């Protein structure tokens, strides 16, 4: 080995140690930078690739994690951690069968590793459960609407129930405030009222187009929030800082209301209740986590089962299929959860025409709206998530010009300050779950637009304390093993 490559290897090892320290401090982007520099100096070390895969997993960049872990395996086919990291990334993407193959391989390489044995068993159980569910599931066209088969009026409220009550069919502000307080004390409302909130929301959402035009009169304002992810106490803090939703103080919550945070039931009932109370004071858009496959893995399904019971799981799934996909404020600002498209020439009329009442597909406009991310380079690239795509400033600019719009606002990604302005100021990411998953240390943010200028005024805020229930407390048992 010449002196040069020996020196490179030594530098690479030093960078790996820096990366490991950054990883331990939950600075995952920085860790990726250091691992990448180490790989540039010595690309034949499988450990660097596997470690970078793990950091990508922490940032939910599962597509990149699979690529890195595959590279580690290519360098050293006997390196069990490569299969382990790739299996974990497949798992997070809901690709249980691919994950199973990788954990079987880990077990072959390390037959006496109790951790590998345990994970393999859990993975086998998950795959069996999925096969069983696929076998008994009915096609969308044969499905009866759950919402249409429930009548909340006939559900008895026992005299000993001491929580807030709704008289008749109209949800009132007093009821909603009392409900928010109950949730603060970690109590739930009666199922009758939970049904009423969700069913009335479904009725409102069904008649909503896939792309909603929002009109903000001159002199009025409108607030856009990003992902909340079951962080109920941070949601209350937004209302504390920016006022409760009302017709005069309207909000748009831009998807990913649930999953990960363990107060997702409280978040969704609060948002839905405000939707019932003020149909034009609360706008809701679908995120990639408003889907059955994500809710199965990331906690919402387990939480609903625990707090409200099995029947609500299908009901929420149906409600999520009714959520609109995009909003346009005053014909100027395009708001969408994920991002833009794999082809040029997409018009607002194409988005209006999307048949959205279904689980999100794995490709096409609806998938890209929910999953895509901006990239610093021009053009389009593969998605670091393994779903959707990455798009550059030129793609953003053309989309805005073709549709006579000024700005794209999207969510979907954690940002240190709760927001990031990219693409020559034409694209803003807003994320409203501070200290995401109790470990990222990020701020949250929301954007307030005032008509007629609609200049974005961004407010950042820090996380507030919450009861000691860990994120992912209700998640798929198997996924929790990897947290």
**What is the set of domains in the chain, with CATH numbers?**
3-136 (1.25.40.10), 147-480 (3.60.21.10)
327 in active site: no
Cβ-based neighbour number of residue 180 at 10 Å: 20
Mean pLDDT by 10 residues, the chain (483 residues): 78 97 94 97 97 95 97 96 93 88 92 83 81 71 80 94 94 98 96 98 97 98 98 98 98 98 97 98 98 93 96 97 98 98 98 96 96 98 95 98 98 97 98 96 97 98 96 76 58
pLDDT at 118: 83
* pLDDT at residue number 477: 63
pLDDT attached to residue 145: 87
Question: Quick one: pLDDT at residue 124?
Answer: 86
Burial 454-463 (b: 16+ CB within 10 A, else e): bebeebebeb
Apex 32 CA angle, 482 and 48, nearest 5:
75
Residue in the block written with tokens 């990897």: 482
What is the number of H-type helices and E-type strands within the chain? 18, 14
Model pLDDT, residue 1: 54
Ramachandran angles phi, psi of 206, nearest 5°: -60, -35
Please tell me the number of Cα atoms within 13 Å of 410 on its side-chain side: 25
- Cβ atoms 65, 72 nearer than 8 A: no
Query: Residue 215: which H helix or E strand, with range?
Result: none
Q: Which is catalytic among the residues 56, 190, 229, 289?
A: 289
Pull the structure tokens for residue 460: 């950042």
Which one, of 70, 58, 62, 69, lies nearest residue 387 by Cα? 62
Name the burial class of residue 288, with classes exposed (0-12), middle (13-18) and buried (19+) by CB atoms within 10 angstroms of its CB. buried
- pTM summary value: 0.94
């Amino acid at each position: 080995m010449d002196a040069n490559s020996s020196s490179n290897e030594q530098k690479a090892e030093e960078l790996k140690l820096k990366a490991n320290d950054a990883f331990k401090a939950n600075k995952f982007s920085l860790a990726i930078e250091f691992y990448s520099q180490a790989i540039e100096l010595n690309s034949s070390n499988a450990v660097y690739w596997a470690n970078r895969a793990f950091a990508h997993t922490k940032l939910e960049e599962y597509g990149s994690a699979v690529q890195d872990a595959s590279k580690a395996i290519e360098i050293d086919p006997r390196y069990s951690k490569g299969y382990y990291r790739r299996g974990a990334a497949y798992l997070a993407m809901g690709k249980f069968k691919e994950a199973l193959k990788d954990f079987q391989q880990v077990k072959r390489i390390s037959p006496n590793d109790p951790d590998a044995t345990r994970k393999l068993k859990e993975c086998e159980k998950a795959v069996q459960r999925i096969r069983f569910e696929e076998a008994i599931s009915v096609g969308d066209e044969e499905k009866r609407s759950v919402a249409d088969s429930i009548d909340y009026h006939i559900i008895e409220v026992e005299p000993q129930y001491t929580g807030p009550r709704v008289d008749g069919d109209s949800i009132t502000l007093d009821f909603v405030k009392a409900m928010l307080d109950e949730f603060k004390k970690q109590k739930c409302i009666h199922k009758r009222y939970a049904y009423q909130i969700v069913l009335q929301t479904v009725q409102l959402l069904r008649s909503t187009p896939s792309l909603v035009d929002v009109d903000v009169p001159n002199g009025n304002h409108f607030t856009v929030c990003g992902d909340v992810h079951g962080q109920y106490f941070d949601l209350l803090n937004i209302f504390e800082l920016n006022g409760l939703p009302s017709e005069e103080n309207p909000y748009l919550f831009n998807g990913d209301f649930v999953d990960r945070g363990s107060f997702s039931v409280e978040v969704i009932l609060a948002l839905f209740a405000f939707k019932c109370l003020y149909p034009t004071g609360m706008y809701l858009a679908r995120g990639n986590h408003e889907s059955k496959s994500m809710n199965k893995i990331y906690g919402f399904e387990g939480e609903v089962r625990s707090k409200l019971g099995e029947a609500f799981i299908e009901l929420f799934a149906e409600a999520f299929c009714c959520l609109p996909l995009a909003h346009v404020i005053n014909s100027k600002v395009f708001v969408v959860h994920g991002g833009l498209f794999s082809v040029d020439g997409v018009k607002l009329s194409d988005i209006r025409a999307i048949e959205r009442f279904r689980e999100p597909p794995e490709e096409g406009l609806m998938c890209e709206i929910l999953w895509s991310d901006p990239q610093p380079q021009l053009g389009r690239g593969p998605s670091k998530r393994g779903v959707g795509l990455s798009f550059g400033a030129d793609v953003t600019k053309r989309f805005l010009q073709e549709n006579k719009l000024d700005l794209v606002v999207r969510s979907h990604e954690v940002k240190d300050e709760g927001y990031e302005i990219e693409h020559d100021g034409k694209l803003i990411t807003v994320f409203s779950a501070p200290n995401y998953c109790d470990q990222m240390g990020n701020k949250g943010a929301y954007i307030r637009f005032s008509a007629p200028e609609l200049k974005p005024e961004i407010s950042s805020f820090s996380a507030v304390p919450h009861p000691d229930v860990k994120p992912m407390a209700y998640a798929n048992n198997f996924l929790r093993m990897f947290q």
